[in-house]
Amino acid sequence: MRVVLTEESHNHVDWEVKSALVRIELGILVGTAIVCTVLFTSPGELRWAVGGAVAAASVAAMIVFALTTPLSENGHMERLPDGGDLKRTQKWLFVRPRPSLDLALADLVAIEREDMVFEDAAPVTYRVARIWAVEAGGDRHLLTPWVAPESADALAPALRRAARFSNPS
pLDDT means per 10 residues, the chain with 169 residues, are 89 92 91 90 86 93 90 93 92 88 92 91 88 92 93 92 76
Residue 125: HSE in the Cβ half-sphere, 13 Å Cα cutoff? 7
Q: Are 82 and 17 in contact (CB under 8 A)?
A: no
Report domain extents, the chain. Answer: 3-19+70-163, 22-68
Pairing of strands 140-142, 124-135: antiparallel
Q: Are 133 and 143 in contact (CB under 8 A)?
A: yes
Distance of alpha carbon 145 from alpha carbon 152, whole angstroms: 10
Q: What is the pLDDT of residue 120?
A: 80
Going from the C-alpha of 131 to that of each of 20, 35, 41, 158, the distances in angstroms are 19, 40, 50, 12
Distance of alpha carbon 132 from alpha carbon 169, whole angstroms: 10
Q: What is the pLDDT of residue 39?
A: 87
Q: What is the pLDDT of residue 123?
A: 84
Q: Are 70 and 1 in contact (CB under 8 A)?
A: no
Q: Are 3 and 144 in contact (CB under 8 A)?
A: yes
Q: Are 159 and 9 in contact (CB under 8 A)?
A: no
Q: Which sign does the torsion angle of CA 14, 17, 21, 23 carry?
A: positive
Q: What is the pLDDT of residue 143?
A: 93
Distance of alpha carbon 129 from alpha carbon 115, whole angstroms: 4
Q: Are 88 and 66 in contact (CB under 8 A)?
A: no
